[in-house]
Structure 1
Amino acid sequence: MAEDVLAEIVATVLEVLVREGDPVNTGDTLVLLESMKMEIPVLAEVAGTVTAVHVAAGDQIQAGHLIAVID
């Protein structure tokens, strides 16, 4: 079952650390966000394979924005 990874806050994407096809474990950092001058890691909540990445470095995202999909 696919797991959507969503942004919890308004932020700027600093760095995308995974690509489609990458295996991830629970707790792995997928993306680094910046909000209010703080770096915020977005962590995988499930283990699996990244099937889609919907952000790139420099993107401005809103709460609820789809960041990635893990299957």
Structure 2
Amino acid sequence: MDQREMYSEMNQLLGAIAKALGIEAEQAARALERGEIDVAMKEDARGERFLDISYAGRKAQVYQGAILRG
């Protein structure tokens, strides 16, 4: 993977986190840099992997192609 591909994938991940939390990508980037957003890779009962995200009382699970807010 070259640097452009990695940068593109990081932007997609940041965009998904921002969308899941209902915030702008810039706000998500700053919050991640400050360690305010918790992100954990998990697996559900069906064996599907997802990102478990929490920030300022907001929670979301990001699956490939789906966002669940909790």
TM class, shorter-length: under 0.3
More helix by share: 2
TM-score under structure 1 normalisation? 0.23
More strand by share: 1
Q: Look at both structures and tell me which one has the larger radius of gyration over its CA atoms.
A: 2
Highest RCO, 1 vs 2 (Cα 8 Å, sep ≥ 6): 1
